[in-house]
Amino acid sequence: DYQFAYYGGRVLAGFQVKRDSEEIDDLVNILRVNQNSIVVIDSDRKKATDRINNTKARIKGECEILGLHCWITHGREIENYIPPRILEQLYSLDNGSLDIKRFDKIEDKLQLAFTRSGIKGFDYSKRKTQYANQISKQIKKEDMSEELMKQISKIENFIRIASRY
């Protein structure tokens, strides 16, 4: 009923969201993967006053025109929705050792906490998928913020409508 197609960071610039486009250009049309697409984008903002870049704004605008859901994260990255205590418990870090704010780069905060705890061999960027699998198994509904639950609800409703459930 649904599938995930992952892209990484700058690759987004090579995509577009257009229905029945006759235009031939160098951009890959996301709707060729699925006409009922949802796009999730890290804002990559470093502070609240930063603007999202032109590519992200373009994709969001293209989705809005077609009535598709485009979620640009409230904080810097999707990982900023992970409660720090989940990470502390999972990786046996001291309580309160992770002070992750909305616009922090989680990779940097985790690396610092691991270094301070004397844990060697942590490399989030090289094993991101492995860490994501570990983390996702630990998170429960009650751990999720109101903002995250709102977005999950929108995605769930979109999938139900597209799947005619």
What average pLDDT score do residues 86-104 get? 89
> 63-79: per-residue pLDDT in tens?
999 988 999 999 999 99
pLDDT at 21 over 80: no
CA distances from 22 to 25, 32, 55, 128, 161 (A): 10, 13, 21, 38, 27
Instruction: Determine the Cα–Cα distance for residues 137 and 110; give it in Å rounded to an integer.
Output: 18
The token pair that represents 70 in the structure block: 């485009």
Separate counts of helices (H) and strands (E) for the chain: 5, 4
Specify the range with the lowest mean pLDDT, choosing from 17-26, 31-40, 107-116, 133-142: 17-26
Q: Which of 13, 12, 63 is nearest to 38 (CA)?
A: 63
